[in-house]
């Protein structure tokens, strides 16, 4: 079954753009949470992941901080 | 033991361009880098790279990647050089994963943001403390933040945040703000900015996230209530892994007009060197020169 993938991002963050491109290139469906769009998105990032920086990926509950390609690959089984 | 003709350390504008030139000279080479694009990838908008009237950093990084991949060059991404030594008549590049040998090396490892070196910095990284204002700025809507630094990148962060954050404190170690006059004026006009000149950050503290920043100036120590800390105090060269290469006081690798270092066969290019201008297009040009220098070195030594 496909894993649930969520990415917390901001539109101006280069690594967010690259991380999303990486997911697209690997045909991984993901939910994009834009932290610049609402305070709710920021609160969710802080509460659920304990982080206050982007990008943060959540892959089936696994929290990955930053665009760490290897960890992302590992977590997705790529 | 496989010995490559050339190992390029770094994949920013200098490293990628060196790779393009090495490919076209049909050298047997590797590029080793933790990322592709280097600092260029961090630029919001680039308007001074010839051929593009406007391109964003991430887009340019993708273009670099496409260009180098069109040559079937070997790019060891996610790998970082930890030492560079002479060994068995060649150069040994040790990374965090493997060892590689080559007859010549181009160091193009760029620069990284300088750290404060104060208690709390590491613990609160990504928990309110950031080195990338452009990335994380939107997270601090209606919060109070501290921007550390007084140069253009710090002022850039201040102006970016002045429309987002509630209060902005600037902690600048120099007696007055540096940076462009236009930017200083804009900072002066922003209603929510307080500048502390000749001041240092002493520590960053809080609970799960940043809550307080202790600073010191001539009046003594004081504490600012803030949820964000933006560190913008300049850059340092990623040159520590190459101990035997001669560097200037800033840690930049010294190169001659042909990008040769003090060690024959080791070349360097881009922001990690003492080249006068740190620009994407300059780094790219320097990368080309360094690769051609390495090619010449290999030919002259009949490798």
Domain count, chain A: 1
Does any CB of chain A come closer than 8 Å to the CB of residue B69? no
Contacts of B139 in chain A (CB under 8 A): 10, 35, 42, 45, 52-54
For A12-51, b/e burial (b = at least 16 CB within 10 A) is bbbbbbbbbeebeeeebebeebebbeeeebbeebbeebeb
Are A35 and A41 in contact by the 8 Å Cβ rule? The answer is yes
The reply to whether omega before B241 is within 30° of 0 (cis) is no
Model confidence at B235, in pLDDT bands (50, 70, 90)? very high
B204 chain-A contacts, CB cut-off 8 A: none
Return the pLDDT at B72. 85
Q: Decide: B239 and B247 in contact? Cβ < 8 Å.
A: yes
Q: Do A18 and B56 touch (CB under 8 A)?
A: no
Q: Tokens standing for B281? A: 């297009």
pLDDT of residue A1: 66
Cβ–Cβ gap B139/A21 under 8 Å: no
B41 CB within 8 Å of a chain A CB: yes
Can you give the CATH number for the domain in which A61 is found? 3.40.30.10
Q: What is the mean pLDDT of residues B42-50?
A: 83
Using CB atoms, pick whichever of A15, A52, A54 lies closest to residue B127: A52
Find the mean pLDDT for residues B256-266.
Answer: 97
CB proximity B120 to A under 8 Å:
no
CA distance A16 to chain B (A): 8
Q: Does B130 touch chain A (CB under 8 A)?
A: yes
What is the value of ipTM here, to two decimals?
0.87
Measured CB to CB, residues of chain A less than 8 Å from chain B are 10, 12-18, 21, 35-36, 39, 42, 45-46, 50-54, 65-66, 69-70
Q: Contacts of residue A46 in chain B, CB cutoff 8 Å?
A: 208-209
Exposure b/e, B215-231, CB count within 10 A at least 16 = b: bbeeeeeeebebbbbbb
**Distance (Å) from the C-alpha of residue B72 to the closest C-alpha of chain A?**
19
Q: For the segment B135-188, what is each residue's pLDDT rounded down to a tens digit? A: 899 999 999 999 999 998 899 899 999 999 999 999 999 999 998 899 899 999
Domain that holds residue A52: 5-76
Q: What angle do CA B249, B254, B255 make, to 5 degrees?
A: 165
* Residue-wise pLDDT tens digits, B84-119: 999 988 999 999 999 999 999 999 999 999 999 999
């Amino acid at each position: 079954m496909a894993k649930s993938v969520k990415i917390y991002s901001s539109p101006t963050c280069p690594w967010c753009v690259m991380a999303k491109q990486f997911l697209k290139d690997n045909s991984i469906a993901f939910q994009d949470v834009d932290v610049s769009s609402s305070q709710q998105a920021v609160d969710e990032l802080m509460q659920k992941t304990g982080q206050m920086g982007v990008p943060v990926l959540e892959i089936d509950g696994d929290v990955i901080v930053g665009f760490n390609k290897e960890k992302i690959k590992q977590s997705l089984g790529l | 033991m496989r010995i490559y003709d050339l190992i390029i350390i770094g994949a920013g504008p200098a490293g990628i361009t060196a790779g393009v030139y090495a490919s076209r000279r049909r050298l047997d080479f590797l590029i080793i880098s933790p990322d592709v694009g280097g600092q260029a990838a961090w630029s919001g908008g680039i308007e001074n790279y010839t051929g593009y009237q406007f391109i964003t950093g991430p887009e340019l990084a993708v273009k670099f990647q496409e260009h180098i991949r069109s040559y079937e060059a070997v790019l060891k991404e996610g790998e970082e050089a930890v030492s560079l030594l002479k060994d068995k008549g060649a150069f040994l590049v040790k990374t965090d994963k493997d060892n590689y040998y080559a007859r010549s090396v181009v160091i193009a490892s760029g620069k990284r943001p300088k750290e404060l070196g104060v208690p709390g910095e590491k613990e609160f990284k990504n928990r309110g403390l950031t080195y990338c204002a452009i990335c994380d700025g939107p997270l601090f809507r209606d919060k109070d933040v501290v921007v550390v630094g007084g140069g253009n990148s710090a002022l850039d962060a201040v102006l970016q945040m002045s429309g987002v954050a509630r209060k902005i404190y600037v902690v600048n170690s120099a007696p007055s703000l540096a940076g462009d006059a236009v930017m200083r004026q804009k900072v002066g006009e922003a209603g929510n900015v307080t500048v502390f000149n000749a001041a240092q950050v002493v520590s960053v503290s809080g609970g799960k996230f940043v809550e307080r920043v202790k600073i010191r100036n001539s009046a003594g120590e004081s504490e600012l209530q803030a949820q964000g800390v933006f560190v913008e105090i300049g850059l340092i060269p990623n040159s520590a892994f190459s101990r035997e290469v001669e560097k200037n006081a800033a840690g930049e690798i010294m190169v001659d007009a042909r990008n040769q270092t003090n060690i024959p066969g080791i070349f360097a290019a881009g922001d990690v060197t003492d080249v006068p201008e740190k620009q994407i297009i300059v780094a790219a040009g320097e990368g080309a020169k360094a690769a051609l220098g390495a090619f010449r070195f290999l030919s002259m030594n009949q490798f």
